[in-house]
């Protein structure tokens, strides 16, 4: 079994009318105003899963600025999970400044079959009020036992569309306030695992996982061995960030990294199946 923990889909109308959505939402514009930036529908995702040998995909919303756009794509994610119940696991997202409306939207999406919240973008919130705005959502997700997937970005290195400033210090602030939250950090946590050499950070990461989304654009294949040594192979989840990168490119990188069979299985399926409660991980 192979589980891709980080994919994105949008309704066909969004894919076809990207300019309208870019004008309406600054977060959308930051990534997708470029016509070369890839967007995918649920059917596109299923086709690539079949081609590349992916059994199940967690499909996420994006961290939009506007609550209305969050809701529009949450609807599509719930519809897509209903269409492909054995292939897709849905996550919804909300705009934290929407307050109680954001929490009601998560509750609605739970009834629609979602298993978590993500991808959220804490870095698009004002730094001075970030935690105040996030607190109700983090509290709700923790109480419901949901999984939260957050964007993360490196404090160093090259810039790219959508990189943002969700750096390790931002993530640790969230974990410090809610140590029992089940948190998945995208993009290797923006390098957060490397701080696990600090005892207090290692302890804080007890309920934190890291996905591999966009890894070929960020790190050499050595990152798999290095991060598993620092946080444990049970804390790494394969995520392609499709449609940004197809899954098969990661499989080539894992082969290049010469990962032991058990570690490779844990990253590709075992860790995700346990986190999601999916049987048949072997």
Contact yes or no for 171/210 (Cβ under 8 A):
no
Q: Which of 171, 253, 174 is nearest to 219 (CA)?
A: 253
Contact yes or no for 174/122 (Cβ under 8 A):
yes
pLDDT at 227 > cutoff 80: yes
Contact yes or no for 196/168 (Cβ under 8 A):
no
Q: What's the mean pLDDT when you consider all of the chain?
A: 96
DSSP letter for each residue of 4-23? EEEEE---HHHHHTHHHHHH
**Count of structural domains, the chain:** 1
Contact yes or no for 233/264 (Cβ under 8 A):
no
Q: Is residue 124 part of a domain?
A: yes
**DSSP H or E run through 146:** none
Q: Is residue 230 part of a domain?
A: yes
Q: Is residue 282 part of a domain?
A: no
HSE toward the beta carbon, residue 212, CA cutoff 13 A: 37
Strands 88-92 and 182-185: unpaired
Which pLDDT score is estimated for 282?
44
pLDDT at 238 > cutoff 50: yes
The CATH number for 19's domain is 3.20.20.140
pLDDT at 66 > cutoff 60: yes
What is the edge-to-edge ordering of all strands in the sheet holding 147-150? 3-8, 56-60, 88-92, 116-120, 147-150, 182-185, 208-211, 236-237
pLDDT at 97 > cutoff 70: yes
Average the pLDDT over 187-209 and give the result. Answer: 97
∠ CA 38-271-54, nearest 5°, is 40
pLDDT tens for 260-279 read 999 999 999 999 999 999 97
Q: Is residue 269 part of a domain?
A: yes
Which pLDDT score is estimated for 51?
98
What does the alpha-carbon distance between residue 255 and residue 217 come to, in Å, rounded to a whole number? 17
Which pLDDT score is estimated for 156?
97
pLDDT tens for 107-157 read 999 999 999 999 999 999 999 999 999 999 999 999 999 999 999 999 999
pLDDT tens for 244-261 read 999 999 999 999 999 999
Name the band, by pLDDT with cuts 50, 70 and 90, for residue 280. low
Percent of the chain with pLDDT strictly greater than 90:
98
pLDDT at 76 > cutoff 60: yes
Q: Which residues contact 205 (CB under 8 A, 6 or more apart)?
A: 175, 192, 193, 196, 231, 235
DSSP letter for each residue of 171-235? HHHHHHH-TTSEEEESGGGGGGGGGGGSHHHHHHTTTEEEE-TTHHHH--TTHHHHHHHHH-GGG
Q: Is residue 281 part of a domain?
A: no
pLDDT tens for 6-51 read 999 999 999 999 999 999 999 999 999 999 999 999 999 999 999 9
Which pLDDT score is estimated for 279?
78
Q: Is residue 63 part of a domain?
A: yes
Which pLDDT score is estimated for 36?
93
Q: Which of 148, 210, 211 is nearest to 177 (CA)?
A: 148
Long-range pairs for 157-161: beta carbons < 8 A, 24 or more residues apart: 157/218, 160/217, 161/30, 161/31, 161/34, 161/37
Average the pLDDT over 55-61 and give the result. Answer: 98
What does the alpha-carbon distance between residue 219 and residue 214 come to, in Å, rounded to a whole number? 9
Which two three-digit tokens encode residue 77?
């994610």
- Its domain, for residue 50, covers 3-276
Our separate counts of H helices and E strands in the chain read 14, 8
Q: Is residue 131 part of a domain?
A: yes
Q: Is residue 191 part of a domain?
A: yes
């Amino acid at each position: 079994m192979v589980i891709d923990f980080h994919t994105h889909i949008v309704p066909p109308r969004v894919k076809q009318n990207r300019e309208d959505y870019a004008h309406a939402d600054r977060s959308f514009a930051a990534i997708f105003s470029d016509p070369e930036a890839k967007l995918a529908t649920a059917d596109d995702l299923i086709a690539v899963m079949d081609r590349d040998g992916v059994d199940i995909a967690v499909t996420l919303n994006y961290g939009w600025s506007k609550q209305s756009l969050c809701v529009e794509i949450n609807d599509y994610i719930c519809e897509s999970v209903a269409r492909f119940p054995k292939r897709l696991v849905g996550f919804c997202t909300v705009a934290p400044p929407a307050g109680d409306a954001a929490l009601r939207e998560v509750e609605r999406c739970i009834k629609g079959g979602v298993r978590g919240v993500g991808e959220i973008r804490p870095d698009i919130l004002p730094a001075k009020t970030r935690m105040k705005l996030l607190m109700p959502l983090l509290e709700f997700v923790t109480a419901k036992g949901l999984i939260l997937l957050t964007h993360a970005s490196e404090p160093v290195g090259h810039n790219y569309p959508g990189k943002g400033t969700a750096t390790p210090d931002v993530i640790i602030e969230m974990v410090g306030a809610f140590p029992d939250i089940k948190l998945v950090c995208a993009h290797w946590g923006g390098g957060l695992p490397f701080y696990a050499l600090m005892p207090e950070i290692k302890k804080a990461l007890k309920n934190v996982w890291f996905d591999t989304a966009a890894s070929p654009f960020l790190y050499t294949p050595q990152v798999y061995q290095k991060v598993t040594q620092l946080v444990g192979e049970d804390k790494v989840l394969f995520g392609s960030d499709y449609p940004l990168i197809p899954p098969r490119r990661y499989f080539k990188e894992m082969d290049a990294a010469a990962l032991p069979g058990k570690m490779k299985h844990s990253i590709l399926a075992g860790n995700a199946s346990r986190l999601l409660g999916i049987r048949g991980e072997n």
